[in-house]
Amino acid sequence: MTDKKEKSAVKCAETIFLQFNGKEVCLDTVRTAIKENYDSVKKGNDAAKDLKIYVKPEDAKAYYVINDDYAGEVDLLLE
C-alpha cells in the first residue's frame, strides 16, 4: 500500500506562486528566466550545478547565485 502512495505522490504536479501587493508571479517562470539568463551569459560553458534564488518582490526582481561564483538578477513579470 505504501508503494501506491509513493507512486501517486511522484505524479503530482506542483506550481508555486508568489503573491505580493495584489500581483502574482509563478516561481517556475522565474526559475526558467534565470536559467535562460545564465545560459545567455555563459553560452553553455560552466553548467549550473547549484542554484540559489532570492525573490525580492518589493524590487520586482529575483536575484540568483549559481555555482557559488556567478550572481545575476532577472525582473519579476508580476501579473
Task: List, for residues 38-63, the tens digit of each pLDDT value.
Answer: 988 877 678 888 999 999 999 999 99
pLDDT score, position 8: 56
pTM of the model: 0.75
**Length of the chain as a residue count:** 79
pLDDT band with cut points at 50, 70 and 90 for residue 67: very high
Give the pLDDT confidence of 3-32 residue by residue, as tens digits: 566 665 567 889 999 999 899 999 999 999
- Bridge partners for 62 per DSSP: 55, 74
